[in-house]
Amino acid sequence: MKTIGMIGGMSWESSLEYYRIINDTVKKRLGGFHSAKIIMYSVDFAEIEALQSAGKWEESGWVLADAAKRLERGGADFMILCTNTMHKLKDDIERAVSMPMLHIADAASSRILSLGMKKIGLLGTRFTMEQDFYKDRLAEGGLSVMIPEKDDRDTVHNIIYDELVKGVIKPESREKYKQIISRMSDQGAEGIILGCTEIGLLIKQQDCSAPLFDTTQIHAEAAAEYALK
């Protein structure tokens, strides 16, 4: 079994889910007392959020590259970045180490394409929805990506930062997300990527008729499967 290096803490609320899903997947595959071999470096999200807000992406890259180096020195065989938005800095992180990184968008697009879907809606932070680094990666995999209208993007982003990363779950926010998902489905989305690792804390498949693709679940399962190869 390979040792998984996890760069977490963005936020720790979703990193906790990663840890649970990875270990649960390994347990289901191997049975008995088996669990995953994991090394996690968890950043202080307050520092990362301040750099995001200030547009200091280069400095954010330094922080995450340092985290990757620490994981590699600790014995990780490969790494995952437990956040969607910070995959914007994947090149900075990958340059710092020799071990491979499993990209969260690749895991998501593989799952979606295996179901025969092509046109997909994307929810996430404003950075993930509006910038090209994530949408282009999905498009490279063969997906056509659509995002919500601006007012809906603002709602999605604000709920993530004002509530979800703080562990606050509000039924009224779930309803807002459901309405946004419904509008995207009406516009032709065959399914919806929950492209922020906290969104799955708020909304589940049973809340919507549209197929939902929780990137936390998909990415964590992919990491466990890769570790077991």
How many residues does the structure list for the chain? 229
Burial of residue 206 (number of CB atoms within 10 Å: 0-12, 13-18, 19+): exposed
Q: Please pick, among 82, 128, 196, 215, the residue that the annotation labels catalytic.
A: 196
Q: Is 83 an active-site residue?
A: yes
Q: How many CB atoms lie within 10 A of CB 119?
A: 14
Among candidate residues 77, 8, 75, the one with its CA nearest the CA of residue 48: 8
In the numeric block, which tokens belong to residue 104? 């969260």
Q: Is 196 an active-site residue?
A: yes
Query: Roughly how many angstroms between the first and final C-alpha of the chain, as a whole number?
Result: 7
Q: Please pick, among 83, 85, 125, 128, the residue that the annotation labels catalytic.
A: 83
Q: Give the H/E segment covering residue 38.
A: strand 38-42
C-alpha to C-alpha distance for 167 and 65, rounded to whole angstroms: 27
As annotated, the active-site residues are 83, 196
